[in-house]
Amino acid sequence: MNKRERVLAVLEHRKADHTPASFWFHFNRYQDTVGEGAVKAHLDYYHKTDIDFIKIMSDGLGYPLRVKITCANDWNKAKPLPHDDPFYLESVKRCRRINEELNGECCTFYNMFSPFNIIRERDVFTEECLNGRSWDATVMAHMHENPKAVMHAMDIIADDLAYLSRLVITEGRCEGIYQSVQGAEKDRWTGDEYARMITPSDLKVISAANEVSRHNILHMCSWAGRPNHLSAWKNYPLRVKNWGCGIEGLSMSEGQKYFKNSVVLGGMDNRKDHPLYAGKKDEIQAAVHRVLNEMNGIPFILGADCTLPSDIDLEHIRWVLETLRSEDAAKCGDA
């Protein structure tokens, strides 16, 4: 099997020659986040690590919420982007150029942040509005003060992201999107509150992607290091589910049962005190085999709980792929 065939087989719950794997991190250098520099950065990383698919990062292409928030009512000022906005044009161009260079060699998935992620960007707030609070605390204060205004902004953003999700698949030639959702921490609010205030905007983007691809990925981000209400995302209709096994306390095999009829992605902790980042070769190989043994032949995709530290030694990623492709690597079985 080639890389594309291998990934698509697992996405369809079919047998592959071995477990596919991929990892990603944010590109921090400015020259790696714009134009052809971003295309080159992705392709260089792909060739150096030999991963089975590429998650195309949106670094440098953040959603431009062109309103400054001075108070909760200002969220009502959010307006849709014109369809010729550089946000769309440059995002699609990045995807298309990377896929042109790959010429079908592997699948690609475009990184999408949810509307709730976007409204929590630090630079949308004035210093007066923050008034010494964190950007996250400010959003939560506004959610309680004027939830309709904040939900209006998220709905506008969701419409724009829904449009982009279709474009990166139909025109950018990605296999699907990698939808990152955040903010369901158990100490933030109840699962019912999340479902009422955040889920509608999440699902608008997801539904649009599903209209043009069956192969979309849900990343349930535990960025804050605190457990989430995974039940809030359990039934989100995406083919692949990825979560922080370590932080959430839900193993890959447990997640396979919890997220019924889904393909699970992950199994390796991305944090700096764990083998993938800090381990020696034999420790990384042992970590890979632990996940393979745990899954016991069930088709899955090996990856990390979340985005890797950008200073990771790329040789560590190559060791993972070498282990999977070695003669004694466990095989994917029938679902």
Over the stretch 4-23, which tens digit does the pLDDT of each residue have? Answer: 999 999 999 998 999 999 99
Q: How far apart are CA 247 and CA 227, in angstroms?
A: 6
Q: Is residue 16 part of a domain?
A: yes
The domain total for the chain is 1
Q: How far apart are CA 85 and CA 273, in angstroms?
A: 42
Q: Is residue 331 part of a domain?
A: no
Q: What does R_g of the chain's alpha carbons equal in angstroms?
A: 20
Q: How far apart are CA 196 and CA 233, in angstroms?
A: 13
Whether the pLDDT of residue 133 is over 50: the answer is yes
**CA count, 13 A, side-chain hemisphere, 172:** 30
Q: Is residue 333 part of a domain?
A: no
Residue closest to 71 by CA, chosen among 131, 7, 159: 131
Q: How far apart are CA 244 and CA 223, in angstroms?
A: 9
Strand partners, 240: 217, 263
The CATH code of the domain that includes 103 is 3.20.20.210
**Which structural domain range is residue 272 located in?**
3-325
Sheet holding 53-56, edge to edge: 53-56, 107-113, 176-181, 217-220, 240-243, 263-268, 301-304
The DSSP secondary-structure symbol of 331 reads P
Amino acid identity of residue 223, one-letter, is W
The C-alpha torsion from 74 through 154 and 165 to 21, rounded to 10°, is 120
* Phi, psi angle pair for 219, to nearest 5°: -105, 115
Whether the pLDDT of residue 29 is over 50: the answer is yes
pTM score > 0.75 for this model?
yes
Is there a contact between 276 and 308 (Cβ–Cβ < 8 Å)?
Answer: yes
Q: Is residue 114 part of a domain?
A: yes
Residue closest to 305 by CA, chosen among 239, 208, 222: 222
Q: Is residue 201 part of a domain?
A: yes
Mean pLDDT of 122-133: 91
As given in the structure block, the two tokens for residue 154 are: 């998220």
Q: How far apart are CA 218 and CA 178, in angstroms?
A: 6
Q: Is residue 276 part of a domain?
A: yes
Whether the pLDDT of residue 334 is over 50: the answer is no
The gap from C-alpha 116 to its chain's centroid, in whole angstroms, comes to 14
Q: How far apart are CA 330 and CA 292, in angstroms?
A: 6
Q: How far apart are CA 59 and CA 180, in angstroms?
A: 14
Query: Which residue is it, tokens 């309709």?
Result: 148
Q: Is residue 47 part of a domain?
A: yes
Whether the pLDDT of residue 141 is over 70: the answer is yes
pLDDT at 331: 52
pLDDT tier at 335, thresholds 50, 70, 90: very low
Q: How far apart are CA 226 and CA 303, in angstroms?
A: 20
Q: How far apart are CA 215 and CA 130, in angstroms?
A: 39
> How large is the greatest C-alpha to C-alpha distance in the chain, in angstroms?
61
Mean pLDDT of 160-166: 98
pLDDT tier at 333, thresholds 50, 70, 90: very low
Q: Is residue 64 part of a domain?
A: yes
